[in-house]
Structure 1
Amino acid sequence: MDELMSTKRKIAYAHHLPGWKYEGGNREALKASRRVAPDEYEEEMVGNLFCPGCYTNVERTPKEKDIFTNRRDPFYRHLRRWQHIACVLRAKKPEGKRYDSWEEAKRAIDHEHLTIITEFLQARPEVELTPGADYDETPVEDVDGPLSEVPIGRHHGESFQLPSKITTVAGICRSFDVNKSKYFFLPGAQHAVQLAYLLTNVTELTPDILDTEQSPKLYYGRIKRSWNAGNHSTNTRMTRLECDPAIVDFTVKLQDGFCRDKSINDDSTGRIVMFYGVITTNGSGLAVDKLAWGEIALVPKKYNELLMPG
């Protein structure tokens, strides 16, 4: 699916700041600039419109007429010259990254351009976490995993034995602005893919998702409401996320005490949560449950605009 066909990952608005440049521009100044929806566009804005998710130049289609001849609404799209910059608002999925040799892949790992994930941490580590703090302020929970055989060679699916990590979604959320362009090889994958394109917004899900075989994936969504369905920390906390109306509702169902340790509580409305799991049902809606310690985390607030601008 390309950006012409995307209805879920559309760019709702662009920042308008004449003279601003992606390379060297003050991003805080850009974030504070005027937000222009596609139907508010004026022709003199050409060249000075920027994506709220990756800060690169965008252009409106069509550039001049208010609407398409077939009455489709106008929209923003990224410029081709920035296609190497990862962005969750870019609808087109890139092909997986492959490497010519073991040496090239190992060099990518050493330079922190590639991470091989063996698994996500299953149990809480023996570290002292800071209650209520964002995950970029807590101790790193990553541990070294075993050498893993991964099929990322360029020639005939060639595999390399490479160092791996046992990590957490919290570790992925930490420094998300850097990590979104980094390549990750997830458990059971066939390719290393940039993080921005491994992520699926819960609002993109449709009711027919359960018609195909499920495998764990990285998802994220904005919290609408969260509450303890009982009276004790052992009861289930129901955390509702924004979703397509056709789904009815989407719920993260986990023990309240577990959620408390993840800083998910009654006051989490508006926060973005990221998780690695399989979608299930919850009454007439969808849900995710039975997540391990390392498979869910709140995204630090400072990265909200990169994932879900607006």
Structure 2
Amino acid sequence: MEKDTQMSSRKIPYAMYSDNWTYSIENYAELLKNHEAVTSNEYIRDVMYEKIFCPKCFTPLTRTPLVESRSRNNVLAYFKHLPSYSHINCMYRANKGEGLNYVNEEEAKEAVDNEQLVVIDSFMKEVPEVKNVDDDEDCYDSLIEDIDGPTTDVSISRHTGEKFSLPSKVTSVRAICRNFSKNLHKGYYLPNSNIALPLSDLLNDVSDIKAEDNDSKLYIGKITRSDHQGKEKRDNNIRMTFLSFKKGGGYADFCIKEEHSLQAKHKINDNSVGRYVIFYGKIEESGVGLCVTDLSYGELSLLPKKYNTIVQKLYDL
């Protein structure tokens, strides 16, 4: 798929379509309750014109171009805010990589309480005691993987050098994948970080990796092959799960190189081709390619299929 070269600002991954809601900041709960999430590919001009809204600030959106899938300059269609609402702050008007900052500790704590900011102390090492008992790989609703962590000093003040003491979570990548579309708009402060960013900015495209990286980061990639190594199918055998890769930096491929048992806990298997996976880890060299290894349970997850369209639009994967 060709890359969308159109803008340096954050993309709006989807719009909230409502046939009967009118913009009102006092009544956005009604929009949250009754809307349909549509990507720019799913937008129908005759049906949705003047009826789509930003999933973050709730102001009206438009689509450019309104009908065609690409502009005259061959730019993929995308959503954008209306100029008449430019006075309302929104993270989707900010430049990618611009950190989320808060005026004071009270404002930051309110963001945490309202689940708009998540401070992650660490990712879980082992399977939590409360597990998803449903065998449906896309059923994440019954899974609880958040544990209260320690109070953490976080550098997210608008005043340089000031830190806020905020409650943190011990969580998992799988918890991030649950309600993924909503989590994209939240700010996340990752372990050993010095900046809070929207999840949509923190996810790095595996296909763009060109070298080893000793700093753990969040990555997203599309599975192209997954093989259980060894003549006998043992849980402690290595499973090589290959992800879409551009062969950058002279490397031939990229894979998740982990025990079959760990990947099986996340339902990654021979039939996972075409699915998207998210992990948090370091990038290492492995033969002629690159890999991630030594992941804990909480540092890996398959993304539910229902979010495929959003991922394809947001990251061009």
Mapped to 1, the partners of 2:20 and 2:5 lie a distance apart of: 24
Q: Are the structure 2 counterparts of residues 229 and 86 from structure 1 closer, same or farther at C-alpha, using a change threshold of 3 Å?
A: farther
Counterpart of 2:128? 125
2:188 and 2:196 in contact (8 A); partners too: yes
Q: What is aligned with 1:222?
A: 222
One-letter amino acid matched to 1:188? N
Change in CA separation of 1:99 and 1:244 when aligned onto 2, cut-off 3 Å: same
How far did 1:158 drift? 0.5
Cα drift, residue 57 of structure 1: 3.4
Give me the whole-angstrom Cα distance separating, in 1, the residues matched to 2:156 and 2:75: 39
Q: Judge conservation of contact 2:281–2:299 (CA < 8 Å) in 1.
A: yes
For the pair 1:164 / 2:168, whether they are aligned, the reply is yes
**How many Å apart are 1:32 and its aligned residue?**
11
Supply the distance in 2 between the matched residues of 1:86 and 1:56 (Cα, whole angstroms).
14
In the alignment, what sits opposite 2:245?
A: 243
| 8 Å Cα contact 1:86/1:180 also seen in 2 | no
Instruction: Give the Cα separation in 2 of the matches to 1:106 and 1:4.
Output: 35
1:22/1:168 CA distance change after superposition, 3 Å:
farther
- CA-CA distance at 1:261 after TM superposition: 1.2
For 1:74 and 1:145, the matched residues in 2 are separated by 44
Matching of residue 140 in structure 1 with residue 144 in structure 2: yes
* C-alpha distance in structure 1 between counterparts of 2:147 and 2:71, whole Å: 54
Tell me the secondary structure at the aligned position of residue 215 of structure 2: coil
Q: Which residue of 2 aligns with 1:79?
A: 80
The CA deviation string for residues 172-191 of structure 1, in whole angstroms up to 9 with x for no partner, is: 11111111101111111111
Work out the CA distance in 2 between the residues paired with 1:269 and 1:276: 20
Q: How many residues align?
A: 284
Q: Aligned match of 1:267 in 267, 271, 283?
A: 271
Q: Following superposition of structure 1 onto structure 2, how do residues 1-310 of structure 1 map, counting pairs within 5 Å?
A: 3-4=5-6, 27=36, 30=38, 57-60=62-65, 68=73, 73-81=74-82, 92-130=95-133, 131-134=135-138, 136-203=140-207, 205-207=208-210, 209-210=211-212, 214-230=214-230, 231=232, 232-246=234-248, 247-309=251-313
TM (normalized to structure 1)?
0.76
Q: Distance in 2 between matches of 1:56 and 1:102?
A: 32
User: Which residue number corresponds to residue 40 of structure 1?
Assistant: none
* Structure 1 residue 33, shift from structure 2 partner: 7.2
Over 3 Å counting, the alpha-carbon distance change for 1:151 and 1:85 in structure 2 is closer
- Residue 103 and residue 32 in structure 1: after superposition, are their counterparts in 2 closer, same or farther (change >3 A)? closer
Q: Retained in 2: the 8 A contact 1:49–1:58?
A: no
CA RMSD of aligned residues (A): 4.0
Question: Contact (CA 8 Å) 1:252, 1:289: kept in 2 or not?
Answer: yes
C-alpha displacement at 1:244, in angstroms? 1.5
- Cα distance, 1:137 vs. partner? 3.3
8 Å contact kept, 2:121–2:149: yes
Change (3 A) 1:249 1:5: farther
Whole-Å separation in 2 of the counterparts to 1:32 and 1:26:
15
Deviations 1:66-106 (A, max 9, x none): 865xxxx444454254996667xx99514111111111111
For 1:116, the aligned partner's letter is: V
Q: Measure the CA separation in 2 of the matches of 1:22 and 1:256.
A: 51
| Cα displacement string for residues 101-152 of structure 1 (whole angstroms, at most 9, x for unaligned residues) | 1111111111111111001111222234334533523421111101111111
User: Do the aligned partners of residues 254 and 21 (structure 1) sit closer, same or farther apart at CA in structure 2, a change above 3 Å counting?
Assistant: farther
- Structure 2 residue runs without a partner (length 5+): 24-30
Q: Distance in 1 between matches of 2:277 and 2:71?
A: 36
